[in-house]
Structure 1
Amino acid sequence: MATLAAATPEAVAEKFESLAPPAFDLVRQPETGLVMVRGRMGGTGSPFNLGEVTVTRCVVRLETGETGSAYALGRSKKKALQSAVIDALWQRPEARARIETDIIAPLAAAQKSAAETVRQETAATKVDFFTMVRGDN
């Protein structure tokens, strides 16, 4: 689910359309709310409230009984709904391998590639500072 949550709404929609989604019922309609995000100074310090972010959630039940849920950062109700259906399908043993190879793996690879690009662009701007020692000290 982390892969779907990190994906763009367009990427999730593209993968969702490649499925032939089964019939489903909405257990909880897509709804948007606020969540408090907490942080830590240096990753290890005392926690503090960083601020609120918008999150959309949705819960669906397939006609075969599997329940899927999704939380998506932002206000994309369509992304939350599609992610919840994909989550429910992933719980079906006969569909799990297809979901992992056709949806999750390509999205994860794209996210890894994007992160590597950002890492390389950041590394290209790195400045190494050094101190020259003067002989009179």
Structure 2
Amino acid sequence: MPESRIAPDVTARRRAMAAFAEATADELAGALDAILGETAATDLRRPEAGLVMVRGRIGGDGPAFNLGEASVARASVTVGGLVGHAYRLGRDTGAARLAAIADALWQDPARRPAVEAALVAPVEARLAADRDDASRRAAATRVDFFTMVRGDVD
């Protein structure tokens, strides 16, 4: 579905969930300690780790092929009647549970600004800085090739 036809709230939740998936366990725990308070989170399904098949395509439009397996942790929780879900690469079920809690809190309009400020914005800033750093390191290894022409070319 084209991005322009997706509801703005869905797009915003995708952005937030991407940040929750990329956040470190320490970033999640630190932000949620301040936001969650005394509210309890209940597991809908025990957090678990498993494998998913990663599929790829050559050139973006070639035939799909199985690339390999990747470890994934998932969790589903409820916080104050709101259901949060999370899938994260790796086997850290604790971080997946924290990400699911963050998703549930983000869905609460009263807590969304706090989650955005304490977790989503800092994670996005860290990821942007990491991309810039990687780009600078790659640019430092760039080699410009050129050809010198000897004599007149007519």
TM-score, normalised by the number of residues in structure 1:
0.88
Superposition pairs of residues 31-110 of structure 1, within 5 angstroms: 31-62=48-79, 64-110=80-126
Q: Does 107-116 or 4-13 show the bigger shift?
A: 4-13
CA distance in 2: counterparts of 1:30 and 1:134, whole angstroms:
69
Q: CA deviation at 1:101?
A: 1.2
Secondary structure at 1:93's aligned position in 2?
coil
RMSD of Structure 2 on Structure 1 (CA): 1.9
Give the whole-Å Cα distance in 2 for the aligned partners of 1:21 and 1:130.
Answer: 65
Matched with 1:30 is: 47
Task: Give unpaired runs (5+ residues) of structure 2.
Answer: 1-16
1:46–1:17 CA distance, 2 compared to 1 (3 A): same
Residue 11 of structure 1, aligned match among 16, 22, 27: 27
Unmatched 5+ residue regions in structure 1?
none
Q: Percent of pairs identical after alignment?
A: 46
* 1:32-70 CA distance string (max 9 Å, x none): 1111112222444333222110000000011x2100000
Contact 1:30 1:57 in 2 (8 A): yes
* Cα drift, residue 131 of structure 1: 3.0
- Letter paired with 2:129: S
Q: Which amino acid aligns with 2:143?
A: V
Report SS of the residue matched to 2:110: helix
CA distance in 2 between partners of 1:72 and 1:14 (Å): 18
SS at match of 1:94: coil
Amino acid at match of 1:93: P
Contact 1:7 1:111 survives alignment (8 Å)? no
Give distance in 1, aligned partners of 2:30 and 2:112: 18
Q: Is the 8 A contact 2:53 2:67 kept in 1?
A: yes
Instruction: Give the TM-score of the pair, scaled to structure 2.
Output: 0.79
Report the more deviating stretch, 69-78 or 125-134.
Answer: 125-134
**Cα distance between partner residues in 1 of 2:42 and 2:74:** 15
Q: Does 1:124 align with 2:123?
A: no
> What displacement does 1:86 show?
0.7
Give 1:34's aligned amino acid.
Answer: L
| Structure-1 separation of matches of 2:32 and 2:104 | 12
Native 8 Å contact 1:35 1:55 kept in 2: yes
The one-letter amino acid of 2:91's match is: R
